[in-house]
Amino acid sequence: MTKEERLKKRHSAEKRFRFYGLASIFVALLFVLILVHNIFSKGSSAFMKTAINVEVFFDQELLEIKNDASDDEILEADFFDITIESLIKVYPAKNVEEEDAIIELFTTDAEIEIKRAFLENNNLIGKKINLEITASDDIDQLHKGNYPRDIPEDRRRISDFQLVIYDNLVENQKIVKNFNNYFFKNGDSRDPELAGIGGALIGSFYSIIICLLLAFPVAVLASIYLEEFAPKNKITDFIEININNLAAVPSIVYGLLALQILLATIQLPRSTPLVAGITLALMTLPRIIIPCRASLKAVPPSIREGALAVGASKFQSVFHHVVPLALPGTLSGTIIGLAQALGETAPLILIGMVAFVVDIPSTPIDPSSSLPVQVYLWSESAERGFVEKTSATIMMLLSFLIVMNFLAVYLRQKFEKRWN
């Protein structure tokens, strides 16, 4: 081979490699794009809810309370009759079946929504007000265009009569789209229009805080001891290998461990953020120790020697010089570990967080859900309303993860100090 040929071959090899590299990046980006597009197109509609404008007349004859009733009295009172009377007026019904069909257009919580309006203003008896009552899931999905209306009636959840009412309501501009506050405020529900991630958000928040409080100090102290103080011998080698092994253990195994030890033996309350936090802390511990040790290792030995040479003790050289320099790496490693923990599902399913929890947890020892488990739960539901809610929950989860990862990068860049 001549020199020119060799040179040509070398250049073409480089060109080929560049092409392969670009192609891989392109394929990866394409998949990310498809994923994001899929989630957004399905999930973005969940942030709005459909409501129907209803005229409510607070008829004294249908209510057992009077104006200026106390909150307790209102909560006790029965608003069922007034709810039915108000709802069926949105369209003239000929018989009881048709009345039932009209009522089905609304959420089952219509009574509560009317009661809430009365709670805000307990002086409404004898007055008429317009309320935007949340529509049922079927109308919600139909209005958002997620539900086909051109299929035979017996395969539809909405009857022809209901479609006529719906079209009439649309024509009279009685149907509105509002911000879906239920999605952020409410706990889980069997009715998609009422289901929200409020409980899951709080549950995830408590779990991650407990995970952070347990895992961060333990991981940092363990890393500092192992990296700076522990003698280098077979035992520390063994510990190091096993920390790496633990980081690779499938998370479901930690769930089994928690099930046996935390729930069965110690008898901590099931389905609670407390147990979830402890389980996630166990799982996250080695995942924080590894980057933490790496950033301690990255501090040049000359800094330690410099400190020792002016008479700093080992402890002083570590805590005055090495740890501050390793802190940015430690913090970003911790945040990335927590981000992983936030998205973890399998161990939480095993400790019972998969339970159907309607109430918003007020303490870490109340039963609760968490964001990834909520995704899992809703993804198994048949109703169309849960499809968009699944995607919207994923959007929330992903945005938390992205924020955390940005925070990690930001902290590292902001506090990283340069040494020669």
Partner 1 sequence: MELMNEIKIKSKNLNVYYGEKQALFDVNLDLNEKEVTALIGPSGCGKSTFIRCINRMNDVIDICKVSGNIEIDGVEINDKNLDVVSLRERVGMVFQKPNPFPKSIYDNISYGPKIHGKGETKSELDEIVENSLKKAALWEEVKDRLDEPGTGLSGGQQQRLCIARAISVNPEVILMDEPCSALDPIATAKIEELIDELKKTYTIVIVTHSMAQAVRVSQKTGFFHLGKLIEVGKTEKIFKNPDNKMTQDYITGRFG
Positions in the binding site for partner 1 (CB under 8 A): 231-232, 300, 302-313, 316, 320-321, 325, 417-420
Exposed, middle or buried, 207 (CB in 10 Å: 0-12/13-18/19+)?
Answer: buried
Amino acid at the residue 156: R
CB of 409 to partner 1, least distance (A): 21
**Shortest separation between residue 419's beta carbon and partner 1, angstroms:** 5
Nearer to partner 1, 10 or 320 (CB): 320
Instruction: Give bridge partners of residue 384 from the DSSP assignment.
Output: none
Instruction: Decide whether 245 or 316 has the Cβ nearer to partner 1.
Output: 316
Least distance (Å) from partner 1 to the CB of residue 239?
16
Residue closer to partner 1 (CB basis): 85 or 240: 240
Q: How far apart are CA 386 and CA 43, in angstroms?
A: 10
Judged by CB, which is closer to partner 1: 325, or 392?
A: 325
Task: Please name the residue ranges forming H helices in 131-272.
Answer: 137-143, 160-171, 181-185, 198-224, 234-248, 251-258
Q: How far is the CB of 233 from partner 1 (least distance, A)?
A: 9
Given a contact cutoff of 8 angstroms between Cβ atoms, the answer to whether 134 and 111 are in contact is: no
Minimum distance from residue 303 beta carbon to partner 1 (Å): 6
Q: For residue 272, what are the CA distances in angstroms to 126, 186, 306, 346, 370?
A: 46, 18, 49, 15, 10
Nearer to partner 1, 303 or 360 (CB): 303
* 135 DSSP assignment: B
The per-residue b/e assignment along 84-111, b for 16 or more CB within 10 angstroms, e otherwise, is bebbbebbebeeeebeebbbbbbbbbbb
Closer residue to partner 1, CB minimum distance, 316 or 362: 316
CB of 309 to partner 1, least distance (A): 4
Residue with Cβ nearer partner 1 (84 or 308): 308
As a whole number of angstroms, the distance between CA 25 and CA 366 comes to 45
CA distance 347 to 237: 29
Burial 24-61 (b: 16+ CB within 10 A, else e): eeeeeeeeeeeeeeebeebbebbebbbbbebebebeee
Q: How far is the CB of 321 from partner 1 (least distance, A)?
A: 6
Contact between 301 and 332 (Cβ < 8 Å): no
Min separation Cβ 382 and partner 1, Å:
60
DSSP SS3 for 152:
coil
Min dist CB 418 to partner 1, Å, is 6
DSSP-assigned letter for residue 136: P
The residue among 3 and 417 lying less far from partner 1, judged by its C-beta, is 417
The nearer residue to partner 1, 161 or 319, going by C-beta atoms, is: 319
Percentages of the chain per state (helix, strand, coil), in multiples of 5? 65, 5, 25
**Please, what is the minimum distance in Å from the beta carbon of residue 37 to partner 1?**
45
Q: Which is nearer to partner 1, 267 or 420 (CB)?
A: 420
Query: Which residue blocks in 47-109 are alpha helix, DSSP H?
Result: 71-76, 80-87, 96-103
